[in-house]
Amino acid sequence: MNSVILATASRYLLTLILMFSVFMLLRGHNEPGGGFVGGLVAAAAFALYFIANGLDAARSILRVDPLRAAVLGLLLSFLSTVPSLVSGQPFMTALWIDTGIASIGKVGTPLLFDFGVYFLVLGITLTIIFALAEEECSL
C-alpha cells in the first residue's frame, strides 16, 4: 500500500501499540487483558507496519524470525511449570515471590506463563500473516 500518511503514522503507532500491548499483558492478572490479548495487539502493531511499509520492512524491524519468538514463548511457559515440579508441589501450582517493592508487588510463575503466551501468540500470528502475505493467489 502506498500511503505517505499511513507509512509515517505507522512508525509512531508501532511504538505506541507495542507499549499498549505490554500494558494489556501486565494488567491481565486481575483485570481484562493478559498474554493472549497482549500478543494479538502486538501482532496487530507489526501487521499494521507491514501493511504500510511492506513485508521486508516489517521483517527487518522485527529483527528475529517470528517462529523464534514463538519458540521463546513456548520455552517461557515451560519454564513456568518447573518451579512447581522441583519444589514438590502439585504440577503447575502458582508460586509467588514478594519483591517488597510497592510498584511491582508480587512476581510469580503465572506472570512468566503469561509472558510465554504473549510471545507465542505474537510469533505464531506473525508467522501466519507473513506466510499468507508472501505469495499472492487468486483465492
Applying CB under 8 A, among 7, 18, 27, 36 the residue interacting with other proteins is: 36
Applying CB under 8 A, among 18, 92, 107, 108 the residue interacting with other proteins is: 92
Applying CB under 8 A, among 3, 8, 15, 93 the residue interacting with other proteins is: 93
How far apart, in whole angstroms, are the C-alpha atoms of residue 62 and residue 24? 20
Cell of 125: 500470528
Of the CA atoms within 13 Å of residue 40, those in its CB half-sphere come to 4
Applying CB under 8 A, among 55, 64, 94, 97 the residue interacting with other proteins is: 94
Cell of 54: 511492506
The residues that touch other proteins, with contacts defined as CB under 8 A, are 36, 71, 74-75, 78, 81, 84-85, 89-94, 124-125, 128, 131-132, 135, 137-139
